[in-house]
Amino acid sequence: MSTPAKEPLPILAPNPSDLTGPGTTTWLIGTDSVAVIDPGPDMPAHQEAVARAGQGRISHILVTHAHRDHSGGAARLSRLTGAPVLAFGDAGAGRSALMTRLAATGLGGGEGLDHDFAPDRLLRDGEVVSGPDWSLTSLHTPGHAAGHLSFQSGDTILCGDVVMGWSSTLISPPDGDLADYFRTLDRLAALAPRCLLPAHGPAIEAPLPRLADLARHRRARTAQILAALRQSPDSAAGLAARIYTVPPGLLPAATRNVLAHLIALAQVGAVDFTDELSLDTVFSAA
């Protein structure tokens, strides 16, 4: 069972954007030995700041998932500190058979994938990593990414990107999977944490209402997509333009989210399509 340590220390990477919000937060936990969760993008100044904050005591580098803004700096920080890198796997780890097939067709959607990421040690769901004054239980929490891990410390869960403090997360197939995402929301809610610490945005001090809101948001989006398809068949890109109100620069991300919904709906027979799955595939209500 995870045991609590002193409050994790956040260090914000200087990589703000439309998709990262204020930037990627690297978390440090422990005193005599220090665990780093998400070393952030490969930015020497950021890894050096993390190493300084660790005061020569960094013993573990844990990565929630192999996206460049989380795992990109892992190798550099490992060289600086000598600490091993632990994660669920490489950039393709954890994909379902369907998502593996879609990846092989060239569906795309992994623009943020860190294809060079290679952890020193693989973590299983439920595995415990500990130091003298901290204990972290790894939780396989796919949805945003197939190999996404969260880390539980007592009644706090460091949740990477599967739950964010400023926005709903991007679900971009073949790495993101909406069905997995709903299962992850249910799992996190069942654990009833006191606090969620995301990698983007502020701490979530009321996790259960936030998790319920995220599930409602996705169900409402599904209803929007089905209503639009009942009016006329369309592609993921066409549907995103019809139902999202976002700046043009965010429409590609919105299209990826719509595609995730369409794939999940196709799996339960709620929508039909005839061509190979792509952003241009035309879907219709079943």
Based on the fold, state whether residues 195 and 242 are members of the same structural domain.
no
Q: What is the rounded distance in angstroms from the CA atom of residue 80 to the CA atom of residue 133?
A: 23
Based on the fold, state whether residues 185 and 222 are members of the same structural domain.
no
pLDDT at 111: 67
Based on the fold, state whether residues 182 and 223 are members of the same structural domain.
no
**pLDDT averages per 10-residue partition of the chain, 286 residues:** 67 93 96 97 98 97 97 98 98 92 79 92 98 97 97 97 92 94 98 98 97 97 97 95 88 92 95 84 94
Based on the fold, state whether residues 160 and 100 are members of the same structural domain.
yes
Based on the fold, state whether residues 146 and 254 are members of the same structural domain.
no
**Which of 205, 225, 257 is the last residue before a domain boundary?**
205
Angle at 197 between CA 193 and CA 198, to 5 degrees: 125
Based on the fold, state whether residues 158 and 226 are members of the same structural domain.
no
Based on the fold, state whether residues 189 and 83 are members of the same structural domain.
yes
**Which of 185, 205, 225 is the last residue before a domain boundary?**
205
193, 162 contact by CB (below 8 A): no
195, 205 contact by CB (below 8 A): yes
Based on the fold, state whether residues 169 and 278 are members of the same structural domain.
no
Give the range of the structural domain holding residue 39, as residue numbers without chain letter. 9-205
Angle at 163 between CA 19 and CA 242, to 5 degrees: 55
**H or E stretch covering 74:** helix 74-81
Q: What is the rounded distance in angstroms from the CA atom of residue 108 to the CA atom of residue 207?
A: 32
Place of tokens 């992850």: 184
In the chain, the number of structural domains is 2
Place of tokens 């999940």: 264
Based on the fold, state whether residues 148 and 240 are members of the same structural domain.
no
